[in-house]
Amino acid sequence: MIRTCLAIWVLTAFLGTVPGTPQTAAPQPGLASSTQAPATPASIQETNDAFVQKISRQIAGHEQEPAGKVFKNIQNLKTTPAGRLLLIMNRGYSQALGVTCTYCHAEQDFSSDEKRPKRAAREMATMHRSINDQLSKMQNLDPNPQGHFINCSTCHRGAVDPLSSDR
């Protein structure tokens, strides 16, 4: 049962992610001559894909093993296959918030919990799971064979702050 729930959760965390409307940094006039180009959804995705490729090489051959075994500091997604955890991080977490991996992770040590947003993301994962638990118990929803689920992008839709008006 727990296994099934986890599998479903993992599936929705990943599949439910719509390539929403990622937050775009407003082009800054003074930046044109600078070497650092403003972040666009495409450049953010490129950065994230590069991180995923780098880590995928490091765990090569262990993609199907549980993330809790392959990585150092997994608390929620222990039984998720390591390769799938990277997909969730990329297409789930990062895309839902419109950020690069280093918004949550220390670049030199992804297992570190030093960044507040990473710790917040764990609390968010717990909240999102409890909302899904409650949804699954509701009696008066129109039945859906797939069930009723929310995921990170249900609220965030490409923005760090779902409450901000400029998205």
In the bound state with ligand HEC, the residue whose beta carbon lies nearer, of 32 and 80, is: 80
In the bound state with ligand HEC, the residue whose beta carbon lies nearer, of 38 and 111, is: 111
Site of tokens 């003074």: 30
Identify the burial level of 116 via C-beta atoms within 10 angstroms of its C-beta, where 0-12 means exposed, 13-18 middle and 19 or more buried. Answer: exposed
In the bound state with ligand HEC, the residue whose beta carbon lies nearer, of 31 and 111, is: 111
> Shortest approach of ligand HEC to residue 31 CB, angstroms?
23
> Shortest approach of ligand HEC to residue 157 CB, angstroms?
10
Q: How far apart are CA 21 and CA 88, in angstroms?
A: 18
In the bound state with ligand HEC, the residue whose beta carbon lies nearer, of 84 and 156, is: 156
Supply angle C-alpha 56, 58, 61, rounded to 5: 75
Residues 6 or more apart in contact with residue 22 via CB below 8 angstroms: 41, 44, 95, 98, 158
Binding site for ligand HEC (CB under 6 A): 48, 51-52, 55, 71-77, 86, 89-90, 93-94, 97, 99, 101, 103-105, 110-111, 117-118, 120-122, 124-125, 128, 150, 152, 154-156, 160-163
